[in-house]
Amino acid sequence: MNKFLIGTVSVIMIMLMGCAKPPLKDIADAKAALESARIAGAKTYAPQEYSSAEGHVNKAQSDLGTRQYNDAKIEALTGKQLADIARQIALDKGKNVPGNAGEQISPSSSTGTAGIEESSIVGKGSLGEGVLIKQLKMILFLFDDYSLSNDAQQILIENAQWLSSHPDINIQIEGHCDERGSEEYNLALGEKRAIAARDYLRQLGIKTDRMSVISYGKERPLNPEHNEKAWAENRRDEFVIITR
């Protein structure tokens, strides 16, 4: 009997040590953000973004119930980010609705760089097309890969938030590769990388007709050196604001 009890306790201790901490606060924060978005009118003014946020929050709650704590945390953080985006969109659109108390109708901006501070412009696209700004950060990829890392997804969430607050701006997503491999292979891989970013941004509520993709393969390296550091920097997507 004693041996059985000792063995049982040992198993329980191993199970507890292997479990991550339940992300209760993250889920609570995500639910609060979702409620704040609802109150701001996100169901009306940002239905797609609100629905996506709600789906992630529900998935976080489901993962919590099955003790998939790491997955639950990721879902909760994503849900909160999307809820914040939905809330901001609702607040911005609500200001433009006639009759809202205390608000004035603001003029719409034209497509291009309107509303972008000059200090935020950091350069041009790979062929001198469009404008690079510091708010739209590039993402990086592993060798021979076009899947989005956790870091890349977080950057795309931040990029989506900026794009949501500038609904009249369109972007071109540039896919790039390092110098290894044939020209044909790298052009195809660069396109897959750009499409992966576009599809994720679409899941975050950015309309597809605001985004175009292009692949430069290995022809436009950010770092012209021939080593691992340069190759890692050149496997990237860049986000260029289209001005024409």
Residues 140 and 64 in one domain: no
Residues 71 and 143 in one domain: no
In a domain, 87, yes or no: yes
Residues 155 and 68 in one domain: no
Residues 163 and 235 in one domain: yes
Domain count, the chain: 2
Long-range Cβ contact pairs of 186-194 (< 8 A, separation 24 or more): 186/215, 186/217, 186/218, 187/215, 187/216, 187/217, 188/215, 189/144, 189/146, 189/215, 189/217, 190/215, 190/216, 190/217, 191/215, 192/146, 193/141, 193/146, 193/235, 193/236, 193/237, 194/237
Residues 73 and 123 in one domain: no
Which of 60, 95, 130 is the last residue before a domain boundary? 95
What is the pLDDT at residue 128?
Answer: 64
| Residue 145 in tokens | 């890969």
Residues 62 and 130 in one domain: no
Residues 183 and 226 in one domain: yes
Residues 10 and 73 in one domain: yes
Which of 33, 61, 95 is the last residue before a domain boundary? 95
Residues 69 and 153 in one domain: no
In a domain, 104, yes or no: no
What is the pLDDT at residue 5?
Answer: 42
In a domain, 33, yes or no: yes
Residues 139 and 214 in one domain: yes
For 77, the domain range is 2-95
Residues 81 and 191 in one domain: no
Residues 168 and 229 in one domain: yes
Tell me how far apart the alpha carbons of residues 157 and 86 are, in angstroms, rounded to a whole number: 12
Q: What is the CATH number of the domain that holds 180?
A: 3.30.1330.60
| Residue 191 in tokens | 């396109």
Handedness of CA 106, 107, 111, 113 (dihedral sign): negative
| Residue 79 in tokens | 């849900």
Which of 95, 129, 155 is the last residue before a domain boundary? 95
In a domain, 54, yes or no: yes
* pLDDT in 10s for each residue of the chain, 244 residues: 444 444 444 444 444 444 468 888 888 888 888 888 888 788 888 888 888 889 988 998 898 889 888 888 888 888 888 888 888 888 877 655 444 433 332 333 334 555 566 667 777 777 666 788 888 999 999 999 999 999 999 999 999 999 998 888 899 999 999 999 999 999 999 999 999 999 999 999 999 999 999 999 999 999 999 999 999 999 999 999 986 4
In a domain, 100, yes or no: no
